[in-house]
Each structure stands twice: as C-alpha cells, then as structure tokens.
C-alpha cells in the first residue's frame, strides 16, 4: 500500500512538473498565436571565458567576412569580438579612434547603405527611464583578419523619443529595404513600443526624434493584476533578415522560462515594416528560453542565431529552416556548397560557380 501511494504520488509530482514546464499559448492582440515549427534548434558552439567579453547583449552576422558573428556586451569592457559559430574568437575591436558612450550598450545589428556594410550599436539602455542621452553608434564593418585588434572610427546618432518621453530599450534592427533603424522598448508588464529613424550619414550633433511605429500587442494580452508571467513584454532583442522578408523580436522572463518567446513576422510583398508589425506574428516553436537571452541575428531568412547574456560560458544556438532541395543538391566532384550573403541575397558557391537559391547558375 505504501509503495502504491508512493508511486501515485510520484506520478502526480511528475504531472505537476510537466504542467509547470509546458509553455502557455501566447495571446497577442487578443488571439492565440500560431506556432511556427519550420526552424530546428541546435547548439553550434560555446563562447569561452577569457575572450574579454561578458554579458553579451547584441550580435550581428558578418557580411564582409562570412562565417563570423560580431558580439558586443552591456558591461563596461571595451571590446567587440568576432567569433565563428563554434565560439572560437578571431578578432577583437579594442579601440575606437574617438571617445564614445560606453554605458548600456543593449543591442547590435548590421545593415547595408549606399553599397557599404555598417554595424550599429544601440547605447540606449535606461532601466529607470530617467537618463536620456540615447545614442546609436555606427561604423563601416571591417574585414575579419588574423590581426589581434583593429581601430575603427565611429559615428554617433543622438536621438530622443517623441514628446521627450524617456524609455528603456534593448532591441534594435535595420531594414535594408527601407534603410531605417527600428528600436523596440522594453517594458515590464506593459506593451512594448516600436520606433524608427531613417538612416543617414549626415545627422551630425543634432538630436533626432524617432517616429512612433506601433505597439506590440495590447494591454489586455497581459491579463488582470500584476502577474509578470503572461503576454509578450520585456523585449530584449530583434533583427530583420538581410532581404527584409523576416522580422524576429524576442523577450525573456528570468522568473519563468515558460514565458519567454521569439516572435516571427513574415513581410508580404512591398509592405512597410510598420504594416508588417501590425499583423499577427508566429511563435518560433523550437525556441527555448535562455538565461538573460538578449541577442539574436539572422544569417539569412533560413538561419538565425541566439546568444545568452550569461556572463559565464554562454552557448551559441543555431536555428535552421531546411533550405530548398535545389540548394542541397548543388554538389559534385566532392566540392561542398557554401552559402553566403551577397548584396542582401543568399548565394550558393560551389567551386568557381555561383547559384541562386532555386539552383539556377549565375553567369
């Protein structure tokens, strides 16, 4: 009898644990979101200690040197690193040629403007929404070589939010189609907001005012009372795919791993980012919560990466949507196919030949 009661009690405990661990459906704009199961998750690497970087808060795939990921942190170290997917570091940017705001770097993204690749760093963290002094630091992306360090000359865009209201934000993305920067606020138990700014090289010292784009969801999604465990809030990272067709915005909730999500919007035709974000997204089914998960970036619209803000040895996760069969079949003569981005488009290289994603040879 005792054994039987113990067995039943064990089953109950297992059932309760399973219920606790199972993520609840995410309600967004009043409706339960569809789960997207196209992307498969795997750990491709681990960033080792001793690289001079902790608390990673922003990442961006290199467009100048394919195969590497740029990473920055929101602590006070002076380094931006480049690592491959396994976490092996190759390059450290340890010195800017001019003094910059090193406080609260919260996200990083890449983009193309006038045929050049740029890296953008969002220096706009403001947990108490009281500091102001918001900046976007940018510079032309350097080549990743065998050198130990490189000097870059940064430029600064100073900005404010409409009506001078202060916000905390940890998410920034750049759209190669519209050539605009988008910033997503991070709010505890409230609706996150999206703002944008057209990118230009001639803003100078004048403070720019962002344009309001939209809210992400509605307050009723979060439920009654002050529970922190429902709805999409606390946005921590975002990115737009190089071709502009996919948008990712993720959050984290360290009090409960079952209430952290990565949302995916699919752009339709020539619609604006504003129009896309006002439609219902999908939830990446394979996404698993990371402690302080504050970094995400696209390689192309079939592959994206996430890295934790954990100050230990954070894992690097790769999410892959299987490529079209034509790509997988581009092989022969024991020469492997290599996928790269060129001018915002996915190109497949095999030997000296190049192919489109549909398998057509580019001449």
Any idea which fold 33-320 has? Tachylectin-2; Chain A (2.115.10)
Listed by start position, the domains of the chain span: 33-320, 325-362
Q: What phi and psi, each to the nearest 5 degrees, are found at residue 167?
A: -140, 155
Per-residue confidence (pLDDT) for residue 305, from 0 to 100:
97
* Adjacent-strand bridge partners of 84: 68
CB count, 10 Å around CB of 336? 9
Residue ranges of the chain whose pLDDT lies below 70: 1-25, 50-52, 75-78, 94, 224-230, 253-258, 311, 323-346, 348, 350-352, 355-361, 363
Is residue 201 a contact partner of residue 247, using CB atoms and an 8 Å limit?
no
Q: How far apart are CA 115 and CA 140, in angstroms?
A: 11
Nearest to 194 by CA among 281, 323, 74: 281
Nearest to 106 by CA among 15, 177, 176, 169: 169
Q: How far apart are CA 231 and CA 241, in angstroms?
A: 25
Q: Which helix (H) or strand (E) holds 111?
A: strand 105-113
Per-residue confidence (pLDDT) for residue 75, from 0 to 100:
66
Per-residue confidence (pLDDT) for residue 90, from 0 to 100:
78
Nearest to 318 by CA among 333, 304, 334, 332: 304
203-to-199, 207, 286 alpha-carbon distances in Å: 9, 8, 41
Per-residue confidence (pLDDT) for residue 18, from 0 to 100:
35
Structure tokens at 145: 């070589």
pLDDT 10s digits, 236-289: 999 999 999 999 999 986 655 567 899 999 999 999 999 999 999 999 999 998
Per-residue confidence (pLDDT) for residue 74, from 0 to 100:
75
Per-residue confidence (pLDDT) for residue 362, from 0 to 100:
74
Per-residue confidence (pLDDT) for residue 27, from 0 to 100:
86
Per-residue confidence (pLDDT) for residue 76, from 0 to 100:
57
Q: Are strands 246-251 and 262-266 parallel, antiparallel or unpaired?
A: antiparallel
């Amino acid at each position: 009898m005792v054994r039987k009661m113990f067995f039943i009690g064990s089953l109950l405990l297992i059932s309760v644990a399973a219920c606790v661990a199972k993520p609840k459906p995410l309600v967004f704009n009043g409706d339960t979101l569809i789960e997207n199961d196209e992307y498969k998750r795997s750990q491709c690497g681990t960033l080792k200690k001793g690289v001079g970087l902790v608390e990673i808060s922003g990442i961006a795939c290199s467009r100048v040197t394919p195969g590497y990921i740029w990473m920055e942190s929101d602590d006070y170290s002076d380094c931006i690193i480049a690592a491959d997917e396994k976490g092996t570091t190759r390059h450290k940017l340890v010195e800017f040629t001019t003094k910059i705001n090193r406080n609260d770097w919260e996200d990083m993204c890449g983009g193309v403007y006038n045929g050049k690749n740029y890296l953008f760093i969002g220096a706009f963290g403001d947990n108490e929404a009281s500091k102001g002094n918001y900046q976007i630091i940018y510079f032309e992306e350097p080549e990743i070589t065998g050198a130990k360090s490189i000097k870059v000359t940064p430029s600064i865009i100073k900005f404010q939010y409409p009506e001078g209201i202060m916000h905390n934000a940890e998410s920034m993305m750049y759209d190669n189609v519209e050539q605009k920067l988008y910033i997503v606020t991070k709010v505890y138990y409230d609706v996150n907001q999206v703002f944008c700014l057209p990118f230009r090289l001639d803003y100078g010292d004048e403070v720019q005012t962002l344009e309001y784009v939209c809210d992400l969801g509605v307050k009723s999604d979060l439920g009654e009372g002050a529970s922190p465990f429902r709805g999409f809030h606390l946005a921590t990272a975002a990115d737009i795919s190089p071709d502009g067709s996919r948008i990712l915005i993720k959050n984290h909730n360290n009090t409960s791993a079952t209430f952290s999500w990565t949302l995916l919007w699919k752009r339709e035709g020539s619609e604006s980012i504003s129009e896309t974000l006002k439609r219902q997204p999908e939830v990446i089914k394979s996404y698993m919560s990371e402690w302080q998960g504050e970094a995400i970036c696209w390689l192309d619209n079939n592959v994206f990466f996430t890295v934790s803000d954990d100050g230990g040895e954070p894992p690097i996760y790769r999410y892959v949507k299987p490529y079209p069969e034509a790509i997988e079949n581009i092989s022969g003569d024991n020469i492997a196919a290599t996928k790269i981005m060129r001018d915002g488009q996915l190109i497949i290289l095999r030997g000296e030949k190049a192919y489109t994603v549909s398998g057509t040879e580019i001449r």
